[in-house]
Structure formats: C-alpha cells, structure tokens
Amino acid sequence: MNDAVKRVLIRAKELNKWVALNHFPELQVNRSLLRKLEDEGFLLIHRHAEEGLLMKLTMQGYRRFKQ
C-alpha cells in the first residue's frame, strides 16, 4: 500500500474517522489489495451512496501499519 495512504489511514484511525477513496485521485490505489486487506481483517470498507468507497483501519491493521 502507498505510504501516503497508510499515513492518512493511521491518522484517521487515531481520530476514529472514515476516509473516502476519492480523496486520493492522483494515487494509484489497487482495489484488489484493498479487498485482500479487508479479507485479512486489516481494513474495513464501506460503500456509501454519495461518498463512494470509505475505508478505515481495524485495530489489527492499525498495529500492523503503525510499525
């Protein structure tokens, strides 16, 4: 996963916020990687009607990416 995306997700977890994927238009975010991280329990993904794809790290994901 891109380092910028990791930093944003870590900070969002600390603030207990969701992050919309459309906030990263210039970054190449691999959707299959996001699905894999969700399946492994590191990431929560929510599909919102207006905002699109929303992401949030789980505690397990926060611990893994915080290192």
14-24: pLDDT as tens digits = 999 999 988 87
In contact, 44 and 37? CB cutoff 8 Å:
no
Digit-coded pLDDT (tens) for 15-52: 999 999 888 777 777 888 889 999 999 999 999 999 88
> Any idea what the CATH number is for the domain that residue 47 is in?
1.10.10.10
What's the predicted TM-score (pTM) here? 0.84
Name the token pair of 24: 């990263």
Question: What does the angle CA 38 – CA 20 – CA 3 come to, to the nearest 5 degrees?
Answer: 70
Q: Specify whether the CB–CB gap between 32 and 38 falls below 8 A.
A: no
59: containing domain: 3-66
The dihedral through the CA atoms of 47, 48, 50, 52 has a sign that is negative
What pLDDT does 25 receive? 77
Question: What's the structural domain count of the chain?
Answer: 1
Start-end of H helices in 1-50: 3-14, 31-39
